Amino acid sequence: TGRGSVTMEKAIGRDRTVAVVGSGTMGQGIAQVALVAGHPVRLYDSAPGRAAEAVAAIGARLDRLVEKGRLDAAAREDAAGRLHAAGELAELADAALVVEAIVEDLTVKRGLFAALEEVVADDALLATNTSSLSVTAIAGALRLPGRFVGLHFFNPAPLLPLVEVVRGFASDESAATRAYETVKAWGKTPVRCADTPGFIVNRIARPFYAEAFRVYEEGAADPATIDAALSECGGFRMGPFELTDLIGQDVNEAVTRSVWESFFQDPKFTPSLAQRRLVESGRLGRKTGHGWYPYGEGAERPRP
Ligand code: NAI
């Protein structure tokens, strides 16, 4: 093991603090997972008030779990007592693990980790939830890059079991093992992989979306027909058009672009022109009321 190695290969103890930086969609989900697993959790966000709002949102989600009988009331109270918003990065000083889920921007992420390293102990495990950036590149800013890994959760993090544990070029084996064991102890299904663009799932999914969009662009079939064919006969829970409407066309296109560029513009990952037009027109999917399909009151879904 090199400099900055995390020597302990076991899961991080439940009594140790887990910090989550970035309290948006993913940060909230990851914080909830660590909280329900029994850790004290600190949530930090650079937007003023955002972390406190996230704490309230997680509390409301725990309430719903109690209503549905999936969490007992005493466990909810106990969990709520362990969750705190942090007003400053310095309040994350005692974290044994920091999971970053901030904006998908290399420079901003590198800046955050350089600042975090000034705050946390040298044996704290540091992780990024990036979908499409290089784990190795983010770690490039660190004094002790050995303790840095990717922990790629899927949305919604409390529901989806898969977590890709990504070993960057400079990550120590023991840090990856510790991260793997920790998320496994949280009830997740971790898989290990190296730091290649898109990791496993986002990379293999690219040609799935791209080929469907091309079939549509060629006029071979419309979105509803392709979705029906894949979900009704292909065994997919959702077809590529309805799935990207759920993810957001902008988010999905950004990941495609990133994977394509990272593989030196390999034509296999070429982004779709039809999807580009959707993004340009603001038809981003469910979140804007229109994507490949219309949504909301009175929206008629085309038939296959
Ligand atoms: P989001 O936009 O919902 O939340 C990001 C949060 O980070 C915001 O609250 C923002 O105020 C905060 N933030 C931005 N810069 C910051 C900084 N320097 N320090 C502290 N907080 C900062 O984003 P989302 O969707 O939760 O994504 C976060 C990360 O997770 C990204 O890297 C994304 O690629 C990754 N991801 C997203 C998935 C998704 O389906 N949304 C799935 C898996 C990974």
* ipTM, two decimals: 0.99
Q: What is the CATH number of the domain that holds 190?
A: 3.40.50.720
Residues 213 and 85 in one domain: no
- Per the DSSP assignment, residues forming a β-bridge with 163 are 153, 190
If you take atom 4 of ligand 1, which residue's CA is the nearest one? Answer: 24
pLDDT tens-place string over residues 189-205: 999 999 999 999 999 99
Where are the strands (E) in 10-109, listed by range? 17-21, 41-44, 83-86, 95-100
In 172-281, the DSSP E strands lie at 189-194
Q: How many CB atoms lie within 10 A of CB 93?
A: 16
Last-in-domain residue among 168, 194, 220 = 194
Q: Is 290 assigned a catalytic role?
A: no
Cα separation of 199 and 180, whole Å?
A: 15
Looking at the 3D structure of the chain, how many domains does it have? Answer: 2
For position 141, what pLDDT does the model report?
A: 83
Asked whether residue 249 is assigned to any structural domain, the reply reads: yes
The answer to whether residue 2 is domain-embedded is: no
Task: Please give the pLDDT value at position 2.
Answer: 47
Distance 303 CA to ligand 1 centre (A): 35
Mean pLDDT computed over 20-33: 97
- Range 66-89 average pLDDT: 95
Answer yes or no: is pLDDT of 220 > 60. Answer: yes
Q: Which two tokens stand for residue 298?
A: 């009175």
Task: Output the six-digit token pair for 133.
Answer: 């950036």
Catalytic residue status for 272: no
Question: What's the confidence (pLDDT) of residue 1?
Answer: 44
Catalytic residue, candidates 129, 131, 132, 272: 131
Does some domain include residue 301? no
Going from the Cα of 251 to the center of ligand 1, the distance in angstroms, rounded, reads 12
Q: What strands, in cross-sheet order, belong to the sheet with 148-153?
A: 83-86, 41-44, 17-21, 95-100, 125-128, 148-153, 162-167, 189-194
Q: Which of 202, 252, 258, 272 is catalytic?
A: 202
Pair 190, 206 in one domain: no
Mean pLDDT of 30-56: 97
Containing 152, the helix (H) or strand (E) segment is strand 148-153
Confidence of residue 7 (pLDDT cuts 50, 70, 90): low
Q: Between 283 and 8, name the one with better pLDDT.
A: 283
* Distance of CA 102 from the midpoint of ligand 1 (Å): 3
Q: What is the CATH number of the domain that holds 235?
A: 1.10.1040.50
Substitution site in 25, 108, 126 for ligand 1 pocket (most atoms within 8 Å of beta carbon): 25
Instruction: Based on the fold, state whether residues 42 and 107 are members of the same structural domain.
Output: yes
Q: Rounded mean pLDDT of the chain?
A: 94
Task: List b or e across 147-173, with b for residues whose CB sees 16 or more CB atoms inside 10 angstroms.
Answer: bbbbbbbbeebbeeeebbbbbbebbbe
- Give the integer Cα–Cα distance in Å for 143 and 126: 12
67 as an active site residue: the answer is: no
| Vertex 291: Cα angle to 289 and 297 (nearest 5) | 30
Residue with the nearest Cα to atom 19 of ligand 1? 46
Torsion angles phi and psi, residue 287, rounded to 5? -65, -20
* 1 domain-assigned: no
pLDDT at 36 over 90: yes
Instruction: Give the integer Cα–Cα distance in Å for 85 and 20.
Output: 10
In the residue annotation, 171 being an active-site residue is answered as: no
Q: Which residues line ligand 1 (CB under 6 A)?
A: 21-27, 45-47, 50, 101-104, 108, 112, 129-131, 153-155
**Nearest alpha carbon, ligand 1 atom 31:** 104
Catalytic residue among 100, 132, 152, 258: 152
Domain containing 168: what range? 17-194
Same domain? For 159 and 209 the reply is: no
**Cβ neighbour number for residue 244 with a 10 Å cutoff:** 27
